Structure 1
């Protein structure tokens, strides 16, 4: 009788382990399908969306990337530009190649303002971006700094850009920028 009870415990532990493995596979498996039902193990977050009330934009909703960062899909000079939301950057910082989309082409002597970055100190060129568009929300006459492409992997949407919105809410998964 003692051996039978032990076999039953081992059998239950086996079912428990099998059930746990199945639940983990199901959880990660379901996360690997996109909204159209196609299998995509590298599924990216949903693109940002503009929420409207009465036809007017009231917010921009941005899902976190897998690494937890928020990336905006902006338009500069009518061309798509990905920008990392960076609350550690006091000013919107563009790679020189992204600034060129708006016709901003700093000369060597324009790179005179020192900035401390994760990669050390670098000289940036101050400028004004005529229009930066997120969805159909336009931010006009935005102060920026331009850095050489080799000093910055992705353009940064810094605090002065964030402050153009009425308010913002952040959870680990979502950033919401409110227009009013």
Structure 2
């Protein structure tokens, strides 16, 4: 997991891809049924249940079972990551396709530039917490596990870490 640390630390730079005056998503990436911006808010939370508590794993990280559209994935919860970052394998499982020529630097890691493609995910949910039209980036090389970053976490009213528990709550 130590190899993950440089990538996790630089994912914060990804948010520049989604700034209003930043570059548009590459035509080589297919968003997952991305709606028009006026169709619905960028991150609309929809929760019905109580708090969701995620225990710290043996490696010191928190992991969540995440539903993207209709499929489940295991992601590392990264409160320091600006966006949801997908491995190439998870992106392919979601039906996302990208042209390798569309890859562009999205961050800088210990080994040099990190290449990725911005996308929009229709629905991301953890337990009863759901966000729609979630900005994400596909990082097909060098990311060993997908990251659940702030483009989802910011839609949850209360995210807190206490001891060995990370809690998502209203």
Per the TM superposition, whether the score is higher than 0.5 is yes
User: Who wins on radius of gyration, i.e. which is larger?
Assistant: 1
- Looking at structure 2, the residues matched to 108 and 159 of structure 1 have their Cα atoms a distance apart, in angstroms, of 26
- State the aligned residue count: 124
Say which of 141, 160, 164 aligns to 2:155.
164
- Looking at structure 2, the residues matched to 160 and 84 of structure 1 have their Cα atoms a distance apart, in angstroms, of 14
Indicate yes or no: 2:60 matched with 1:94. Answer: no
1:157 shift after superposition: 0.8
Gaps of 5+ in 2: 1-46
Greater share of residues in helix? 1
TM superposition outliers: structure 1 runs of 4+ over 4 Å: none
Indicate yes or no: 2:66 matched with 1:71. Answer: no
Gaps of 5+ in 1: 1-54
**Counterpart secondary structure, 2:101:** helix
Q: 99-108 or 116-125: which moved more? A: 116-125
1:167 shift after superposition: 1.5
- Looking at structure 2, the residues matched to 121 and 84 of structure 1 have their Cα atoms a distance apart, in angstroms, of 22
* Residues 108 and 158 of structure 1, relative CA distance in 2, 3 Å threshold: same
1:107 shift after superposition: 1.2
1:160 shift after superposition: 2.1
CA RMSD of aligned residues (A): 1.9
Greater RCO, 1 or 2 (C-alpha within 8 Å, sep 6+): 2
TM-score normalised to the size of structure 1?
0.62
